[in-house]
Amino acid sequence: MLGSFLLYAGAIVCVAGLVLAIWPMQRLGLGRSSGTLIAAVGVLLVVIAVRLPAPESRVPRATTHLDDFMPRWQFNEYHRVRVKAPAARVYDAMKHVKANEIFLFKTLTWIRRGGRPQPESILNAGDRESLIDVATHNGFATLADDPPKELVVGTVVVAPRGPRGPVTPRMFKSNLPTGYALAAMNFIVTPEGPNTSWISTETRVFATSPDARRRFAVYWRVIYPGSAIIRRGWLRAIRRRALGSS
């Protein structure tokens, strides 16, 4: 994603420039003024990354449950893997994968919450329940559960200040007031034959106002690399579980 690339590239360039401003490398022709200029370029890249627009996309025709609940979005990511197992087994594995089965899940969610202790949630998942159950018991709603094809869950990621009610499927099909951003994630299992399937996951986020879009854009561009690692690890964990149950 361009925004995340520019953000992290800018941060690295800025740090490199600050290091040169403190410890110049005169033998390479890089003095303190060069370091300051490099740091300024890094800051400029970060500012560009933060202010990049997030254009809206939409599906021309709904073909999945995710399309029904989230036909428009400004942010999304998509991943898939092939599994040598029947669709029903893959779907069951997806419903039962736990946080400790996903590579780096706990490390990356610990970083995302800044190391702060929190009650059990998707960012602080235990190992007793599946990750899907942890999510739906802590802030996510099940939007669709259509075995062995598609599961969709959703939550509110940005909301105006004030009291908030529970997340419900109805929220995703109503015209919410400004200031909200909704996120929906699905898993789709597509048979390739009697004993082979593809499983994919897509996350979409729709903000109801320019302010909510800008607020979420900064967060999204910071967390996107870690989110992509988690999603890919989640799919690999599903594959391992599906193959292990054969």
- Which two three-digit tokens encode residue 172? 């995703």
As a whole number, mean pLDDT of residues 134-162 equals: 94
Phi and psi at residue 199, to the nearest 5°: -125, 130
CA distances from 159 to 66, 122, 164 (A): 21, 18, 8
CA distances from 219 to 92, 114, 145, 150, 235 (A): 32, 13, 29, 27, 23
User: Which residues does residue 182 pair with via DSSP β-bridges, in sequence order?
Assistant: 156, 206
Counting residues of the chain whose pLDDT is more than 90, the rounded percentage is 72
As a whole number, mean pLDDT of residues 98-127 equals: 91
Banded pLDDT at 33 (limits 50, 70, 90) = confident
As a whole number, mean pLDDT of residues 24-51 equals: 84
- Model confidence at 30: pLDDT above 90: no
Q: How many CB atoms lie within 10 A of CB 27?
A: 6
As a whole number, mean pLDDT of residues 84-109 equals: 95
As a whole number, mean pLDDT of residues 23-41 equals: 80
CATH of domain 57-244: 3.30.530
Q: Cα separation of 101 and 241, whole Å?
A: 9
Counting residues of the chain whose pLDDT is more than 70, the rounded percentage is 96
pLDDT tens digits, residue range 12-24? 999 998 988 888 8
As a whole number, mean pLDDT of residues 72-84 equals: 97
Phi and psi at residue 59, to the nearest 5°: -85, 140
What are the structural domain ranges in the chain?
2-51, 57-244
Per-residue model confidence (pLDDT) at position 23: 83
pLDDT tens digits, residue range 203-226? 999 999 999 999 899 999 999 999
Per-residue model confidence (pLDDT) at position 162: 64
- Model confidence at 25: pLDDT above 80: no
As a whole number, mean pLDDT of residues 134-159 equals: 95
Q: Cα separation of 189 and 187, whole Å?
A: 7
Per-residue model confidence (pLDDT) at position 50: 86
Phi and psi at residue 204, to the nearest 5°: -130, 145
Question: CB within 8 A of 225, min separation 6: which ones?
Answer: 4, 8
Q: How many CB atoms lie within 10 A of CB 208?
A: 18
Per-residue model confidence (pLDDT) at position 239: 97
